[in-house]
Amino acid sequence: MRQREIVMPSKSLGLSCALSTPFGHDARVDTARLAEHANWCLAQGCDSITLFGTTGEGAAVGVADRARSIKSLLAGIAPARLLSGITACAPDDAAAQARVAVDAGLYGLLLTPPWYFRDVSDDGLFAWFARVLEMIGNARNVYLYHIPSMTGVPLSVDLVGRLKTAFPGVVVGVKDSSGDWQNTEKLLAAHADLQILVGDERHLARAVRQGGAGTICGLANLLPGIVRKAAHDGVDDARIATAVEVIMRHPFMPAVKTLIAQQRGDPAWRVMAPPLAPLTDADARRLTAEFEKVLTAKAA
């Protein structure tokens, strides 16, 4: 039975889990495990789920698998609690990914810039984003995704301003995954009318205290209760920084999956979509031992 729809807050996204995506050995999404994990995250304190982001290996998930995954989640989760990451270079492909989510009634989109061409101008990026948003037509609650470590394509404060002016009520926020606190501060100062989300959990509480709207983050796959306090109340907890630092000693996406597998007692969670590969057994043992210390540590 579908849950009652929950209307998301207008000024804050709160805690949205950048959901890790389980795959079978055929590199197709394992929708049963996906739904189970999404429901667990919501039950543990996440306000919403963001599918197909960086943590969710979204660049490896095609339109057909996106549609199957969303259909499976909507059997038990209200669409108002789901967002979808969009990762493509061609406007046609980005719009096709977006339409799957928009047509299903999902709350919003996390829109990544085109990532193949580097050193592009703000004018070029504006034209690309405008083309995609015009092709979608009925998009709402679009969050611009600033993650230059992955895309190589930064989103300037000025570009964000141009896009929010051109698409009022459509472009509602920015997810800043730069890991650069100065950049986050600039976004908070220049765009107080937008929801500024922080991807680096180590900066989350500080950003919320300065007007940030919460987070879409990978650590919510593992420690949603701890991260929720930072996302909602701006409460610092030393375990967050320690957990991030432990995970970042390894490739991030397979590290998160290794820890989910450990928590669930389910080694199938370690499967990655090519070209990514799981951690070696030795690295997995080292990571889980280090992370166990985080779980047993007291709150700061």
pLDDT confidence of residue 138 = 87
Per-residue pLDDT, averaged over 135-156, amounts to 95
The residue count for the chain:
300
Q: Which residues contact 143 (CB under 8 A, 6 or more apart)?
A: 83, 108, 109, 110, 111, 172, 173, 174, 175, 195, 197, 216
Please state, in angstroms and rounded to a whole number, the distance separating the CA atoms of residues 173 and 141.
8
Is 269 within the bounds of a domain? no
Domain that holds residue 37: 14-236
Is 292 within the bounds of a domain? no
pLDDT, one tens digit per residue, over 43-94 is 999 999 999 999 999 999 999 999 999 999 999 999 999 999 999 999 999 9
Q: Which amino acid is at 294?
A: V
CATH number of residue 219's parent domain: 3.20.20.70
Please state, in angstroms and rounded to a whole number, the distance separating the CA atoms of residues 239 and 10.
29
**Helix, coil or strand: residue 214:** strand
What pTM was estimated for this model as a whole? 0.93
Please state, in angstroms and rounded to a whole number, the distance separating the CA atoms of residues 252 and 43.
24
Per-residue pLDDT band at 300 (split at 50, 70, 90) = low
Domain count within the chain: 1
Pairing mode of beta strands 14-18, 214-217: parallel
* β partners of residue 51: 84
Residue 275, preceding bond cis, omega within 30 degrees?
A: yes
Is 35 within the bounds of a domain? yes
pLDDT, one tens digit per residue, over 255-264 is 999 999 999 9
pLDDT, one tens digit per residue, over 280-298 is 999 999 999 999 988 887 6
Is 253 within the bounds of a domain? no
Is 288 within the bounds of a domain? no
pLDDT confidence of residue 295 = 83
Residue 49 near residue 77, CB atoms below 8 Å: yes
Helix 252-264 with 281-296: angle, nearest 10 deg = 70
Is 187 within the bounds of a domain? yes
Please state, in angstroms and rounded to a whole number, the distance separating the CA atoms of residues 77 and 73.
6
Per-residue pLDDT, averaged over 83-106, amounts to 97
Is 278 within the bounds of a domain? no
Per-residue pLDDT band at 4 (split at 50, 70, 90) = very low
